[in-house]
Amino acid sequence: MARPRRNVMSSARHQRRRNNNTISTHRLTFTLLNTALALVTTTAPTINAQEFSTIAGDTSTPTTIGSCASENIVVNGCDPTNTTYCDQHCSLFGSTYLTDKCCKHVNVNANLLAFEESATWIPRIEEFHKCTGANVRLQYVVGGEDFMGQALIDDVGENDDESSGQGIYDAYIVQAPWLPPVYQGLTSLSPYIKENDKYIDFMDINQASRSAVSFDGEVWALPLDADYIALGWRQDVFTKHAEAYLEKYGKELTVPTTIEELVEVSENLNGWDHNGDGEADWGFCLTPQPNYFQAFVAPVLQTTLRTCEVLDGEYDCSRGSQTGQNIFFDVDNMDPLIFNEGFKYAVELYWRFVRSSNCQEESLNGGKCDRKTAFPTGRCAGVISMPGTLTSLLEEGGKYAPPPENRYDNLEADEYWGRRAVFPGSKKVVDWTSSGTPLVACEGVKCPLSKDGVNYSPFFSEGGESYALNGRQSKPSATEAMWDMFTWFAELPVGEIPLSGVYRRSQLSDEAIDLLGEQWNNTVMADDLGNVLKEYFRTEKEGGNPVQDLFIIGFPQYNDALDLELHSNMIIKDMSEGGTFPLDDEAQFTERFNEFTNALALRYEEVHAQQDGGTLQQLELWRGALDLRPSKSQQDICSDLLATDQNAFTKLDCIKVVQLKDLCQSQKSDVEEYSPGACDTGRNSTVIIAVLCSIVGAGVLALVAYFTYKRYQSYIRIRKAHEQLMEATLNESVRSLHQLDYPLHLVRGDEFVDEGKLMRHEVLRNTHKLTVLDSLSDVDSFIAAGKHVVFFSHQWTSFTAPDPSGQQYDVMCTAMKELARRNGWDESLKDVFAWIDYSCIPQANPSTQNLAIRSLAAYASSATYFIIVAPETHHADLDDKCDLDTYQRRMWCRAEQVCHSMRNGTEGMYLAVDKVEPIVKVKNDHFEESLHVFEGELTCCRLEHKGMGACDRQSLVIPLLGLYGELFRAAHDGIKGGNTDALSSVEAFLKEIEKHQETVFPRTFQRVMWRKNKRVTEEVLLFGDLIDRMRARIKNGVGFAIDDEKTGTLSTKGSDFVRHGASDFLRHGVVHGASNNVHIETAVGNISEHMNQA
């Protein structure tokens, strides 16, 4: 578990270190732990190692780090075939990971940088050396964790500068707040974890610790610990005062379960004698730090990470859309979450708590208030702390524990003086869905995860320790050796791992807790820890509500800002002056609170401004740290703010990120509201203003006639604009069938199989493993040359990765091989090309990714084969089952099927759900369900379109309308030519559409949106009468002519329905016609635009 914490480094010290990057490295202390190894028995090989002693770093003279890296430590005679030796040294603690790695890393030297000493390092490194032959050198940073963050930057280098970093070390012990500035220079551990998950068992690690080390959909460090805020209480004190407490206050003295009770008990016990010296003692003790205050804020501000639904009378919050709740900044505009009654409530309670603590004496005259010096005196009734320090406070003989003479140990056999408990929750919470975000009672939908009217939200401060690997300068051999050591650690008992604590769910089993009790020689403490962590480690499905720390660049500066304004300038300042501020005076407290929050907001703005990219960049990072979906680029954030919060649009300086002209088509009313005239086309659309007639006799009649005529003109213009809008939509749908907005990228079948997993687009691109087709004519030529395009349609089984278990990938490979076997293709798969979203759509650049998504329908309809990949697996983050049923419920999955089948029929469509029967042809009527695209589930609708311009349904109008037109034309031309038999599949589609036209192509739909913090439900035009208009066009033989030679698109005339085409398919928030006020919207604009042009 975590070790004692030091205060977060000040901004001034941080800046000085940034200006003297090399000095901090020169001040490191080398601790080289390669001890001389004795000769083993004569039956074992002899291993000679050079012995090193501890070398103290000289702060004035640079340590020659390079000389150690170049030492040639020779390990001779290590024989991996000597099973006696290998079994003896590679099967320790019941672990099996190293059994096949005997002598694997002979002569490999690796350097490890850490910030805290542990006696366990020496035996573990020696054991790893004896087994593998690796020479691991451990070095500590002078000053400990306060200097480790800068040391990490110095060695790895910052994200945006690949040339920076000294590259001395191969691996690091890190904390999550240090990762954001450097993670791009570390090695992504995702592929390593997948390969070794039998030993790592990543999902066994608690959710908060996993999230803390994940950025951009990759895992960058391997957790070995979990840090959180917990409560310690003195059972001896509670027992001693029980009767007197009941008599004085009329209630039993019990362990607090709410922050309200915690403050009340601390205040009530303040002034009582706990240690028997006849002097008045304190309530609970603490060290005033931002993270302990944030533990008070957490249960008031965060009630659920996902929207909830009622199932069997209970709230289920595991499957809903993300709420974006946190305790730091608004995820839409980066406003600090401090201007609300909930934050004020937490400040008041915390201030009262500090006033009843050790700080009432220790802070006088500028003294330091510290739980580590206060608790050993026996004057504290309890304490709040991080887990590692809490153990040192509560265990018998602990570094900070009160000795027996300062305790009252008259307890029962199954009791113990130092107890641990879940940090209390709150009976009051912020209602984020109501205007003004009021403070309300914790009940019902306002508090869906509550227990007995209490909201619990454990705060995982700093995230705990983790292992990380240098990804820029480390040699592969050193990286592999350090990974093997870290993976081996993952299998060891908690007490045998350096710096580790309980951080896995499996470590909470009865057997594991019993073992921990034996190690501590204290079953009560072990049981307490197990009970606390069973609550803290609950998943979202189990009702868990963990609160994440602020893992973005600038973490220490944000904490410094809060520490300064909350403690130095307000609470501790008051305590040093005798604690005389009238907290019970509402008017004075409100005035002081407002001064505090205004000053804090200004300091936060200063921290934003100090970071590259300013507030907008920090907002993008914060959303990424919280892993919010759908992810948003800075352009997406600004476009949404233009529609919902134009003050924030200005504050975040979005005008430097987006071009207003580019938004005139999709957000014209928003652009005009923000900058009138920005969308002016310069055309002569001036409306003739009426001139009053001066002729008295005929003036009235002329005026009536004039206004009647103008009203008629307005009616004609509206009707004309509507007709133009509808015609433009029809024209756009036809045009979209014949072009690609982004080239089609494919992976050759043999290379797809050889990769061993789904590979990221950029990796394949940089290794030249993508085949690129720039136009639809290229696609047609490609297929005509005997190539086969297989489109894999699947659902992502993690919020950050497409296929973390690898099950879907395995099914894809098996399906491709079976398809080749059945069709008699070359089994080398060199003529088979696969399309899969993660590999064929850009993942890093939002702009190019958007273009590719716009062409998704073209990709699906161009493929010769379409395979639905839906094996039964579990969602890595929700632990829900994913299968064909969940796949078929998704609107986008249905849309992909329809885009293929409406052009190619169902002949080339297969299901792939397991390896037993690799592929199964879909039934002829399979399209009947998928055809009902708009009855599928959409993320944007679950989010109620918060921060979005329009609904994803609207983005499907153009491609589906065009596909329907092509389908209807094929049937119509076939009927005229007497070739109806060849078009049976076409007629089946049309028959199903005609039967259910109102649901297949809804005329309108109900859209729920949020505008200026108000929930609005409106009926929005979707297809309207476009389907009828398309049919009329085709019957009249106009409006569907395409020059085949220029576009490379084959005609669908007659029976030639099955072909390869394209559609301008938009998805994932790429919308058309988004407007705040106009409800008649299409993919090519809205009616107001066409009125201006009419």
SS3 890: strand
- Decide: 1029 and 730 in contact? Cβ < 8 Å: yes
pTM for this one? 0.62
Q: Rounded to whole angstroms, what are the CA distances from 481 to 32, 146, 219, 693, 835?
A: 17, 28, 19, 94, 36
What angle, 0 to 180 degrees and rounded to 10, lies between the N-to-C axes of helices 586-610 and 341-355? 110
Name the strand (E) or helix (H) holding 840. Answer: helix 837-840
pLDDT-above-70 percentage for the chain: 82
- Any residues with CB less than 8 A from the CB of 1041 and at least 6 apart, and which? none
Whole-angstrom distance, CA of residue 807 vs CA of residue 192: 17
Whole-angstrom distance, CA of residue 504 vs CA of residue 533: 9
Whole-angstrom distance, CA of residue 142 vs CA of residue 25: 9
Q: What's residue 1090's pLDDT?
A: 45
- Decide: 394 and 525 in contact? Cβ < 8 Å: yes
Strand partners, 1008: 1017
Backbone angles phi, psi at 87, to 5 degrees: -65, -35
Q: Is residue 590 pLDDT above 50, yes or no?
A: yes
Average pLDDT over residues 934-962: 78
Sign of CA dihedral 647, 648, 652, 657: negative
Tell the residue number behind the tokens 């009649």, with chain if given.
701
- Any residues with CB less than 8 A from the CB of 797 and at least 6 apart, and which? 803, 804, 805, 807, 808, 873, 874, 875, 876, 882
Q: What's residue 27's pLDDT?
A: 35
Q: What's residue 690's pLDDT?
A: 39
Name the strand (E) or helix (H) holding 1081. Answer: strand 1081-1082
Burial letters 551-568, b for 16+ CB under 10 A, else e: bbbbbbbbbbbbbbbbbe
Q: Among candidates 288, 229, 283, which has minimal Cα distance to 568? A: 288
- Min mean pLDDT across 99-103, 553-557, 659-663 is at 659-663
pLDDT digits (tens, 9 = 90+) for 263-321: 999 999 999 999 999 999 999 999 999 999 999 999 999 999 998 888 777 888 887 88
- Min mean pLDDT across 70-79, 136-145, 324-333, 441-450 is at 70-79
Greater confidence (925 vs 267) lies with 267
- Min mean pLDDT across 112-126, 206-220, 666-680, 719-733 is at 719-733
What angle, 0 to 180 degrees and rounded to 10, lies between the N-to-C axes of helices 891-904 and 957-976? 20
- Decide: 652 and 609 in contact? Cβ < 8 Å: no
- Report, in angstroms and rounded to the nearest whole number, the Rg of the chain calculated over CA atoms: 34
Instruction: Tell me the pLDDT of the chain averaged across its residues.
Output: 82
| Farthest CA pair distance, the chain | 130
Q: What's residue 373's pLDDT?
A: 96
Count Cα neighbours of 441 within 13 Å in the Cβ-side half-sphere. 4
| Single-letter amino acid, residue 371 | R
Q: What's residue 446's pLDDT?
A: 93
Greater confidence (226 vs 1089) lies with 226
Q: Is residue 1082 pLDDT above 50, yes or no?
A: no
Hey, what domains does the chain have and what are their CATH numbers? 11-227+463-501 (3.40.190.10), 230-457+529-552 (3.40.190), 734-1093 (no CATH)
- Any residues with CB less than 8 A from the CB of 933 and at least 6 apart, and which? 891, 894, 895, 898, 956, 960, 1000
Looking at residue 688, the DSSP 8-state letter turns out to be P
pLDDT digits (tens, 9 = 90+) for 1019-1047: 888 888 898 888 888 888 765 554 443 33
Q: What's residue 550's pLDDT?
A: 96
Whole-angstrom distance, CA of residue 121 vs CA of residue 497: 8
- Decide: 393 and 232 in contact? Cβ < 8 Å: yes
Q: Rounded to whole angstroms, what are the CA distances from 518 to 60, 399, 501, 745?
A: 47, 20, 15, 59
| Single-letter amino acid, residue 605 | E
* Residue 916: band (very low, low, confident or very high) from pLDDT cuts 50, 70, 90: confident
| Single-letter amino acid, residue 82 | N
Strand ranges (E), 262-326: 284-285, 309-311, 314-316
Average pLDDT over residues 322-332: 95
Whole-angstrom distance, CA of residue 247 vs CA of residue 902: 80
pLDDT digits (tens, 9 = 90+) for 609-653: 999 899 999 999 999 888 888 788 999 999 999 999 999 999 999
CB atoms within 10 A of CB 1074: 26
- Decide: 576 and 27 in contact? Cβ < 8 Å: no
Average pLDDT over residues 554-561: 95
